[in-house]
Amino acid sequence: MHVTLVHVYVLPQSIAGFIEATQENHEASIKEAGNVRFDVLQDPEDPHHFMLYEVYRSPEHASHHKTTDHYARWRLRVEEMMAKPRQGIPMDWLFPA
């Protein structure tokens, strides 16, 4: 498994737009071969802070995600919404086995 926790901080005026763009990315990403999780979470303590929990069966499946049209469209749409560069934290998957 290939796991990434993507932390995104968006500008105050971009919360609704980010959610809309990310819903579209989510819906296409969960249909990709090898996708296991593409959960989108929002921090109740700081609604500008989102976490995307992305899990793919292999590094190749995760790399393929970055070549898709929906990823390119998302990246372009959200680029100007970010308060700072997004941070992708890799994690190792232990369970479920």
Question: Does 90 help bind a second copy (rule: CB under 8 A)?
Answer: yes
Is 5 exposed, middle or buried, given 0-12, 13-18 or 19+ CB atoms closer than 10 A? middle
In the shown chain, the binding pattern of residues 45 to 64 toward a second copy, with x for contact by CB under 8 A and - for none, equals -----xx-x-x---------
72 Cβ neighbours under 8 A, 6+ residues apart: none
43, 60, 80, 88: residue in contact with a second copy (rule CB under 8 A): 43
Location of structure tokens 């469209």: 73
Interacting residue ranges for a second copy, rule: CB under 8 A: 3, 5, 19, 22-23, 26-27, 30, 37-44, 50-51, 53, 55, 89-96
